[in-house]
Each structure stands twice: as C-alpha cells, then as structure tokens.
Amino acid sequence: MAKRISLREFQESLVRRLADAQSAPRRDLLGLTAGGDQWLVDLGDAGEILPVPPLATVPLAKAWFRGLANVRGTLFGVIDLSTFCGGALTPLTGSARLVLIGARHGANCALLVSSTVGLRSPEDFEPDNTSESPHAWVPRQVRDLHGRRWKHIDVPRLLADNTFLEAGIV
C-alpha cells in the first residue's frame, strides 16, 4: 500500500527537489565511444538510446550504412559511426547501442556506437586546438580532465553532409 503524505509535505519535497536540480551541474552532452574515439552529442539532438534491434540489410549500400531498424513501427537508417569515419565495423553485440538522432531535425537516423558513456557537463572539458577537425560536422574537439580527446558532433551538419547522405554504392 502506498505511503500517504499530506499536500504540504508533497509541496515542500517538490520545492527541495527543484532547488537541488537548479544547483546541480548541467549535464547536457551525451558521451559515446565508436571506433576507439570518444564523441559528444548535444543531449537535445540525441533522442532515445537503445540496444541494437535486428537490422534489415539494404542491398547496394556502403558498408557504414548497416541497414534499417524498426523502432516501434518507425524505420531508422542505421549508420555505423566507426565505419563512417574509416574505422572497423562495430559488433552488434555487447554494449553496442543505437542513438536515435535527427528526429528533432526531421530525419529518422540512428548512430551505431560501441557504447554510451553517460552524460557530461560542458564544464568537464577544455578546448583542444592542437589538431585540425577531421570532418566539417565536428566543429570542435575538447579534452577532459584526464587528457582524453573528445570530438563534438554537430548533428544538423552531419545530417546535411553530402557523404552522409550518399549511402548508396554508385
């Protein structure tokens, strides 16, 4: 049986939780690993994160286009981030995940990554200007407190990238 509390206790509890939430550090970046690299995606651009469902292969598609995933009746094109960047194929088992991106931008697209590493705060990073960005859709690279390099994905730029849009073999 559920514990009963008074309206006053509930309101006081709610006020405390809201105050705690406002004072907590912002965590608006999602950390990913793919192809041995660390990646960051703005939380607003990352939709759902889910284990890899069965994928329907697409004939005459490039190797990085791993197929189509049916997520509750909606088809998502699955792009292997590691392979897209010139790395090895990501195994579809273990900690591999699909990160649904693009729904906010009108595109049903999912990134296949080796794993997700949780939410990160922008304050956890400092700019890394030591190397040039490898892709137009990676506007900046940063380093965390342990010196690891992270590449920040600009999802709208990625979704508009000509290479990303041309998944078919010509």
Question: pTM of the entire structure?
Answer: 0.82
Which amino acid does the sequence have at 87?
G
Which amino acid does the sequence have at 143?
R
Query: Cβ–Cβ contacts within 10 Å for residue 58, how many?
Result: 15
Torsion, Cα 161 165 166 167, to 10 degrees, reads: 120
Helical residues (DSSP H) of 24-161, grouped into ranges: 81-84, 155-160
Residue 54 within a domain: yes
User: What span, in angstroms and rounded, lies between the C-alpha atoms of 103 and 47?
Assistant: 7
Structural domain range at position 149: 26-165
In terms of pLDDT, which residue wins out, 3 or 117? 117
Q: Is 164 helix (H, G, I), strand (E, B) or coil?
A: helix
Cα within 13 Å of Cα(140), Cβ side: 10
Residue 91 within a domain: yes
At 126-142, the pLDDT tens digits run 988 877 777 999 999 99
170 pLDDT higher than 80: no
Residue 20 within a domain: no
CATH number of the domain at 157, please.
Answer: 2.40.50.180
Which residue, 101, 98, 82, is CA-closest to 90? Answer: 82
At 67-113, the pLDDT tens digits run 999 999 999 999 999 999 999 999 998 999 999 998 888 899 999 99
Residue 8 within a domain: no
User: What span, in angstroms and rounded, lies between the C-alpha atoms of 67 and 73?
Assistant: 15
At 16-48, the pLDDT tens digits run 776 665 655 555 899 999 989 999 999 989 889
Tokens describing residue 92: 């579809």
Number of domains present in the structure of the chain: 1
Query: Cβ–Cβ contacts within 10 Å for residue 167, how many?
Result: 17
Residue 17 within a domain: no
Q: Is 70 helix (H, G, I), strand (E, B) or coil?
A: strand
Residue 52 within a domain: yes
Residue 108 within a domain: yes
Would you state the pLDDT for residue 68? 97
Sign of dihedral through CA atoms 59, 61, 65, 69?
Answer: negative
User: What span, in angstroms and rounded, lies between the C-alpha atoms of 45 and 24?
Assistant: 22
Residue 4 within a domain: no
